[in-house]
Structure formats: C-alpha cells, structure tokens
Amino acid sequence: MYLVCGGAGYIGSHMCKHLHEAGHEVVVCDDLSTGHAGALLWGTHAYGSIEDTEFLRSLFSRYQFDGVLHFAALSVVAESMREPQRYYRNNVAATLNLLRVMREFEVNKFVFSSTAAVFGEPQARMISEDHPTVPLNPYGLSKLMVEQVLRDSCRAYGLRAVALRYFNAAGADPVARIGEAHDPETHLIPKLVRKALGEDLAVTINGTDYTTEDGTCIRDYVHVDDLAQAHLLALDHLDHAVGMHSFNLGNGTGHSVKQVVEAVQEVTGEGLDISVSGRRAGDPSHLVAASKLARSVLGWAPRYPRIVDVIETAVRWHASPTYAAWMAEPPGSEVSCTNHDAIGAQSNQYRHG
C-alpha cells in the first residue's frame, strides 16, 4: 500500500491510476486546496494536509504504508517570486513534517516530485544529473532544499529516496478520465489548447529575445503518463537500492514556445492569435533533459516522444465533459467527492476501477 500526497492533483492523480493498474492499494492524502475531487478515482481519500502533524500520525497509525510518493507542492514560478515564504513553508517545511512522521512509523521508501527548475540557467545543451544546481527562483530552490534534506536523511536515518526531476509535464489520460485543470492556468500547452477550443483565454509569449533559434524559450515536454511510469520504476528501484538517487525525466527534445503554438494549431486545425510581451523573471532560456540515467538504471522509456501526440491527449481531455465539470467546481470543493475518509471525522472508504 502506498500513500500518495497530492494525489488529487494533475500528476498525482495519474500516479494513482498507474499504481492501481499495477495492483497496488492507494491512499490519497489531499486537502483539495488545488486538486480536484473528481480526480479521486483510484484508492481511498484521506482529507487533510501534510502540514498537520496529528493528521499524518492518525493516517500512519491507521494504514501500513510500504512507501510514500510526494506530489503536494506549490509549483508556479512567477508566484514563487512574489511569495517566496509561502513556497518555503509549503514545499520545504511541510515536507520536513511528512518525513518526520515517516521516520516515527519506520516507513523508509520515498519518491519525491522534483523539477528541472533546480538547475537554473543551463550550462550545457542537454542537462544531465550532474549539471550544476543554481535555481533562478524560490520554487526551484525549495525543491533543491528538499533534495538536500533527503540526501542527509538517507545518510543519517536509512531513508531510501528517489528525486525525479521533471522537465515540462504535459498531456492527459488518453481516454480523458483525468487531466490538467488549473484556474488560473499557467502552463503553455493547456492554455493554447483551451484557446484553440474556443475559450476566451489570453495567451502571451513571454520574451522573444532569448538566445534560441526563434528567440523564444525552449522546453522539454514529457507526457504525464510517462512521468507516472517512471515513479513505478523508481519504487521498484528502491526495493534494492539504498541511499538517495536523482533522475532527470524528459523526452530529450526541446520545443520553443513558437513551435508549441504551431503544433497546437496543427493538431486542432485552429489558428491562434498570440500576443507578445517581455521576459518573465526567473525563466531560463533552454531546458532539455538528458535522461540517459533514468533509461539505463530504471529502464524508463517514454511512450509519447512526439509533441503532437502529447498535445492530442490534452485536446481530448480539454474537449471532454469531465473537464468542463471540473472547471465548474472550484478547487477545494468536495461536492463530487461523495466517498472520502476524513481521518478522525468519518470513515467512508472507496475503491474504483
């Protein structure tokens, strides 16, 4: 049985799907502050926050966890520049709280959702795990701080941990049961797709003077299902590996903002009128993963290497009635979550699938 913190969120919910399909029992810890109740399709929902020590102790007392997968974090770069203390409290202090309770209950397997933002401005065309880590924003620094905490905890307490450094997560469940649904949306592909599907959404290219071929930022887009598969492989890796391990996850192919706009237009058949503005603080020009280590050590192989295939799953999701229903129900709502387990309050477990 695995605890998935932030399992009602975008990547966390896909992780729950993959764990369920692999035959694992799942408990989702999520306070629905940013996640969606409609994403709770696999496992048992424990309504609460990892900042709440007594809630966590109740949870660990009740269930025998084989390990923890941690997705509960704030992740908007621009917001982290405006509100750094909020990011350090939520991403660092809350994770320390979770690790402390794990140690109390002798749960020693941990997979951490990290980010390419730990690297900062790239010093190489392809970013490998040994690239210098000099984050440009509090979001990236908060993730790097947790990686250091994990490294020290593995050495001191015998924790076994993997940090998976995502590049740009994108796409959705191929049959459109779950997907990306943020309000406001900050990620490029869903913003472009929503605009192409007719939403009155402002989309801006932030900076056209970067040192790239067309002047716009280059990013490595990796399908969310491919990320979830890497987590399953990381759990298997921790069955025999000790200490702390970091892996970069990306397709190894960069696409500029303008190229992504063109790909969305190709998939949807819709023209897009996109405005242009200056650079955003904290944005590096070029982030592309060298994922050889994940491929060789974990045996990971992305199933969605083409950007158009990633976008096609996003289009299917954003055109679905499920997406529309989620967006009509603001984050934090439990209206559609008729089965949940509020530890210490009620005991409604559920299983789906």
Q: Which residues are catalytic?
A: 139
Residue 351: name the closest of 27, 14, 15 by CA.
27
27 secondary structure, DSSP code: E
Give strand pairing partners of 254: 220
CA 169 and chain centroid, separation: 7
List helix spans (H) across the chain: 10-21, 53-62, 77-82, 84-87, 94-104, 138-157, 188-196, 224-238, 257-268, 292-293, 307-318, 321-328
Say how many C-beta atoms besides its own lie within 10 A of residue 28's C-beta. Answer: 29
Tokens of 289: 């993963």
Rounded CA separation 316/83 (Å): 34
Residue 318: name the closest of 167, 198, 166 by CA.
198
Contact yes or no for 4/71 (Cβ under 8 A) = yes
First to last CA, the chain: 16
